[in-house]
Chains A and B, each alone.
Chain A
Amino acid sequence: MVIPLEHVIGLSAILFAIGTIGALTRRNLVVILMSIELMLNAVNLSFVAFARAWGDTLGHVFVLMVITVAAAEVAVGLGIVISLFRNRDSVNVEDVSLLRW
């Protein structure tokens, strides 16, 4: 492996952190979903790095699963966003807080 493993994992951590910040601070639902995608990608990077470190293709298989699930999640999530927009004319996450005390 040409790069030390720590550097790759470190990159994964930084990308995950950026994604978290985006999910927690942005108000646009679509941007939040995109941040979640970024988090998933960071995790994929981790998997690939460890697969390379141990020589086990399980990591790659898992990445395929993650991509599949991410795709499914994005499809349904964006469907929800569209329905929401149709009903409320807004994709602001603070406008969808009815389920509260």
Chain B
Amino acid sequence: MVTDSDWLRWIPLLPLASAAASGILLGLFRRPLGRGATVVLSCGSVLVSFLLSLLALWHLIALPVGKRLLVDRVAPWIGAGSFSAEISLALDPVSAIMILLVSGVGFLIHVYSIGYMDDDHREDKGFQRFFCYLNLFTFSMLTLVLADNLLLMFLGWEGVGLCSYLLIGFWFSDRWNAYCGAKAFIVNRIGDFGFLIGIFLLFTAIAGVLPAERANEAVVFRGIEAAFPLIAEKTVQLPHWLGFLPGAPEWKLATLIGLCFFVGAAGKSAQIPLYVWLPDAMAGPTPVSALIHAATMVTAGVYMVCRLSFLYDAAPGASAVIAWTGGITALLAATIALVQTDIKKVLAYSTVSQLGYMFLAAGCGGYTAAMFHLLTHGFFKALLFLGAGAVILALHHEQNIDKMGGLTRYIPWWRPTHLCFLVGVLAIVGTPPLSGFFSKDEVLLAAWTAERVPGHTWLWAMGVATAGLTAFYMFRLHFRVFFGESRIAASLRGHIQEATSTVTLPLVVLAVLATVAGFAGLPQVYGDMLGISSSNSLANFQAPVLAGASAHEVSHATELRLALVAVGFALAGALTACLLYLWRPGLPERLAASLSGPYRLLVDRYRVDELYDRAIVRPLVSFSESVLYRGIDAGLIDGVAVMGTARTVQRLAAQGLKYAQSGLTQSYLVLMLAGATLVVGYLLG
């Protein structure tokens, strides 16, 4: 069933080695490596990881269909009593695609960062530190994806959270950046708590049905999947105070576990209610936003849900929650993106929205669709972020689109900065035949056919509406930045210059990928049109691993009709954007003024951050300060335990013991004799 391999470990280990080398040299020995060496070391290690991933994929394809699994048992890890876990990596079709995405896009972003970080106007360029963190992130993400057991996956999960913190708050001398980094980490942690509870529940349940000597398999994915049918129908009794929940008082255990894991996924992948960290994470450098918050880390939640697809298949309640959360998040984030003025914030909310699509698909049972959208989104979102970075560089770190416009007058439209950004916009909007079109349609199809999820047609409608809104705000962004009259500050106009080739080359590569990647997962309806027999190679490749992946139950005609509706909405959105921002530029202000209530609500992002601040953050901080700090820490521990014991001892000594030191020889003699007598008496008696 399983093929052993011993070189799989180098895929995550090479970036780790590079990060360790540059980190230790810089941190411990305080010797910077020099620009060239840093670049070669860090970019080189990721490149080799990518090549090894390709090799791994090739090996995997060579294996027969049911047996596509490479396992590398690296080392024993935890041994506590009868429990043991190993560091072992496993490659199956799903993780093969993920590692290609992570290392490939990661490599492109590493190259991009050479040019981007060089332009850093702060004194401490932090070049080596940046690449060290990027490599560390790559290692963590690869570990997460390749992990064979839940514990190692959690290690990678935490690792990407940590690197996210380090990279968002990279320019930490500005307190705001440090705050954003901390916010990301803390919100992630809340999700991680759910993840942990899920791991514990799952382990306890599975280990309970396995014989004792095989109990350790309960933490390995293959073991869980194999033993899962034994607990698939188990139920738990909810306590009465939870009686208001639907389906109470008896819930399926799988649903409970699935919800716990979803809390973790919601934290990591920025779904409601834990999405608030992602827009603020834009405080980090743009390559960070591209890598972590577009292509890789935020997709970890989706990956995890797909990994546990067998669990969610048996938990319709949890799947429904995921689907609805995804749908609502997608729509909500799209509405917020309509009115944002920071180029990166628009893209951030767009990411939240697209992640909502992925969860929508996963919740509706379309795991292959979710993975497909994950892949294409990785390409075009990274492309959009890197393109935005190129624009920011060209305008000397201006990020407000109200101060951009008419950029094509200074950088010609056929140059990569504009052209690649346009490709990205077209891809995310879902223009056929770019990749976004196919993947979005797969997602919407999954929603349309999900009989298990109550109200799935409404979900489909929300998805289509979101597609329309996406088209609107993306074209709005594009027009505001590149076309129309130029609102660029006069002082900048003479110095606008496109960035270097290290910046533009990754853009071109990503644009090509965003264009053609769709054909890897071409739905059969189009395959038939082109005369390809089994065109959805991605889905076929991943189908044996993901549950619920099957041929569509709808006719080709319905599929085409649904696709047409989606394209129609997208076209409507694009045309509205053209109207508002190209042909009648004064219209947006008049609309904003007349609809000022809703407009302000959207600009304030539904005041969710303020709500959290008032309801959770401030009470927690004041409780911590007054009770935990002043009361317990300073008062009880410092005052009573530490100082109190010291004062008691001092009082005992000063007012009691010191009188024994009388200085009189004969008193001492008496005490000595008494003591000697006692000792002799004890020895004799």
Contact = CB atoms under 8 A, between A and B. Distances in A.
Interface of A: 20, 23-25, 32, 93-94, 96-101
A66 B618 CA distance: 80
B661 A93 contact: no
Interface stretch (B27-35, B59-67, B520-528, B663-671): B663-671
A93 B666 CA distance: 8
A92 B659 CA distance: 21
How big is the B interface, by class? Answer: 10 to 19
Interface string B647-682: 000000000001101111110011001000000000
B659 A97 contact: no
A32 B663 CA distance: 16
B666 A99 contact: no
B659 A101 contact: yes
Given A20-B673, A24-B670, A100 B665 contact: no
A25 B673 CA distance: 14
Contacts of B666: 23-25, 93
Contacts of B662: 97, 100-101
A97 B673 contact: no
A77 B670 CA distance: 19
A97 B670 contact: no
Given A20-B673, A100-B664, 12 more contacts: A23-B669, A24-B670, A24-B673, A32-B665, A93-B664, A93-B665, A94-B664, A99-B661, A100-B662, A100-B663, A101-B659, A101-B661
B663 A97 contact: yes
7 contacts: A23-B669, A32-B665, A93-B665, A94-B664, A100-B663, A101-B659, A101-B661
B669 A100 contact: no
A57 B384 CA distance: 104
Interface of B: 658-659, 661-666, 669-670, 673
A96 B663 CA distance: 8
B663 A99 contact: yes
A33 B133 CA distance: 79
A101 B665 contact: no
Task: Give the top 4 A-B pairs by smallest Cβ distance, nearest first.
Answer: A100-B663, A97-B663, A101-B658, A101-B661
Contacts of A99: 661, 663
A98 B670 contact: no
Contacts of B659: 101
A94 B662 CA distance: 11
A25 B662 CA distance: 16
B670 A100 contact: no
Contact of B663 (A20, A24, A98): A98
A51 B662 CA distance: 41
B675 to A, nearest CB: 14
A97 B669 contact: no
A79 B670 CA distance: 24
A100 B661 contact: yes
A98 B662 CA distance: 9
A23 to B, nearest CB: 6
Contacts of B663: 97-100
Contacts of A93: 664-666
B664 A97 contact: yes
A100 to B, nearest CB: 3
A98 B661 CA distance: 10
B665 A96 contact: yes
Contacts of A94: 664
B653 to A, nearest CB: 10
A101 B653 CA distance: 11
A82 B683 CA distance: 39
B515 to A, nearest CB: 91
B3 to A, nearest CB: 81
Contacts of B661: 99-101
